Amino acid sequence: MAFKYRDSFVARLFDDIGAMLGGDSGVAASIEPRLNELVCANSPAVIDYWKRTRRGLGVPDAAFKGNPPYLFADEPPVRTFRTSGTTGGERGAAHYSARGLELMNLSILANARRHIVRELHSPVILRMVPSAAAAPDMVIAYGMEYIAKAFGHPELSTCVLGPQGVDFALLQQRLQAALAANLPVVLIGASFAFVNICDTCEAQGQRWQLPPGSRMVDAGGFKGRSRAVDVDTLRAAVERVFGIPSRQCINLFGMTELASQLYDGADVPLGPLGERPKSVLPWVRPQVRDAHSLELRSSGSGLLEVVDLCILDRPYVVLTGDRGIATEAGVASAGRIERGQSRGCSLTLDEITQGAAARD
């Protein structure tokens, strides 16, 4: 029997997830079993999927294309975010109910407070991602703006990415203003955006020594990009250009399919590009499944899965499509798993059909 959105079971679960995000550790242990009960009751597809694969296995990112899973047939979504479509053409979608969206908001803030803002008060938050108005279905645009509004300096915080790319004049102006007022700056943007911005600034001989406490948050890695830069090279460039030391740089792993983000938890290079292990939090944790058996493993590499206890509207365990590396220091994301591998003269159908689509 499916739970309705307005059933007390769902209302209590919503309240308790909120309490967990507020720091109430007493409720955390009961949330995952209840989320599991909700998914099993409301999504026969997940039960069927587990029968065909393995019980408890995260749903693949491919599940969010076409007819994405949404647990409350009786409650239309209030918001939908969409994937970029960089890994397979068709864009995926994640639907949110009002409660689900509120939990995502709480998770974003709890994570930002812990990993980004920390001791700062009203820093200048400069976003190198589109504004939420410019990209209403892009979750990173929404989340970054939400963080900036909640924690950022109200006058000086802004988005510096417009339709024509980075607005360097605006970036310079806000950096100068922050320097003049001795306000720490938080630079937030996609990993590849930082590479381009640092390249441009260095080519133009522009450098800043931002006030103490300034920091950088990069997200997204180099998925679908022609050029991959290792973590320490990127951070060295950020230090040269903005005067932000490497220890004040942090990487964020987010997916449209998730409500919570994963942030670096230790400054230990683990992945091939020096990727750091992500924090395990009471409400979101990365884990790695063995590529051969799909069993969870505490060390070694395999398929990266995320258990996100802030997802109320969809299956809360997601198989990311990324490679994960598990060590005692934690789990790092280490790039995308190839969807099809051509070998010699043998080509995969997807490559042909995508190539044909690209030419159309």
Partner 1 sequence: MTEESLEERRISWMPAWASAAKLSSFAIADHQPPWLCQRPEALHWPWVGENLRRVQTQLREFPVARIIAAIDTVAQRWTDRTFGPRQRCRDQVVVATGFSAEAVERSFDVELRNYRADFLERTLRRELGNPELLDHFCPDEQLPGSALALGPRITLGVFTGNVPGLPALSLIRALLVKSTVIAKVASGEPTFAARFVRTLAEVEPLFGEAIMVTYWDRNDTAALRAALGQVDAVIAYGSDDACAAIRAHVGSHQRYIEHGHKVSIGILARNYLAQIGTAAVAERIAVDVSVFNQHACIAPQTYLIEGTLDEARAFGQQLATALDNYAVACPLGTLEEAEAATLQLRRTSAAWAAATHSHCDLWRGDGLDWTVVLEATIGTVSGSGNRVLRIVPVNDLADALRKLQPIASYLQNIGLGASGPEFWHTAQELARMGACRICEPGRMAEPSMMWRHDGEPCVAKLLRWCDIEMHREADPTAN
State the CB neighbour count (10 A cutoff) for residue 142: 22
Site string for partner 1, 19-48 (x = CB under 8 A): --------------------------xx-x
In one letter, which amino acid is 35?
Answer: L
- Choice from 8, 25, 67, 164 touching partner 1 (CB under 8 A): 67
- Choice from 27, 63, 249, 281 touching partner 1 (CB under 8 A): 63
Residues between 292 and 311 with contacts to partner 1, criterion CB under 8 A:
292, 294, 301-303
With binding defined as CB under 8 A, does residue 226 bind partner 1? no
For partner 1, the closer of residues 30 and 342 by Cβ is 342
User: Cβ 322 to partner 1, closest distance in Å?
Assistant: 10
In one letter, which amino acid is 76?
Answer: P
User: Cβ 293 to partner 1, closest distance in Å?
Assistant: 9
For partner 1, the closer of residues 114 and 339 by Cβ is 339
Contacting range for partner 1; rule: CB under 8 A; set: 49-57, 161-169, 232-240, 271-279? 49-57
- Choice from 60, 213, 243, 245 touching partner 1 (CB under 8 A): 60
With binding defined as CB under 8 A, does residue 55 bind partner 1? no
d(CA 296, CA 123): 40
DSSP β-bridge partners for residue 106: none
The three-state secondary structure class of 153 is coil
With binding defined as CB under 8 A, does residue 227 bind partner 1? no
- Choice from 1, 180, 345, 358 touching partner 1 (CB under 8 A): 345
For partner 1, the closer of residues 136 and 335 by Cβ is 335
Q: DSSP string of 191-212?
A: HHHHHHHHHHHHHTT----PPT
User: Cβ 168 to partner 1, closest distance in Å?
Assistant: 35
For partner 1, the closer of residues 90 and 267 by Cβ is 90
Q: Copy the structure tokens of residue 218.
A: 């990069």
Closest listed residue to residue 322, CA positions, set 260, 266, 257 = 257
User: Cβ 256 to partner 1, closest distance in Å?
Assistant: 16
The dihedral of CA 249, 262, 145, 94: what is its sign? positive
Q: DSSP string of 229-297?
A: --HHHHHHHHHHHH---GGGEEEEE--TT-SS-EEB-S----STT-PPPBPP-SSEEEEEE-TTT--EE
With binding defined as CB under 8 A, does residue 346 bind partner 1? yes
User: Residues in contact with partner 1, total (CB under 8 A)?
Assistant: 40
d(CA 70, CA 313): 6
d(CA 37, CA 21): 20
Residues in the chain, overall count: 360
User: Cβ 336 to partner 1, closest distance in Å?
Assistant: 10
User: Cβ 296 to partner 1, closest distance in Å?
Assistant: 14
For partner 1, the closer of residues 69 and 100 by Cβ is 69
Burial of 341 by CB count in 10 Å (0-12 exposed, 13-18 middle, 19+ buried)? exposed
For partner 1, the closer of residues 59 and 238 by Cβ is 59
Helix (H) or strand (E) holding 102: helix 98-112
Contacting range for partner 1; rule: CB under 8 A; set: 12-20, 216-224, 245-253, 351-359? 351-359
Residues lying near partner 1 in the complex (CB under 8 A) are found at: 45-46, 48-49, 52-53, 57, 59-60, 62-63, 66-67, 291-292, 294, 301-303, 319, 321, 323, 337-353, 356
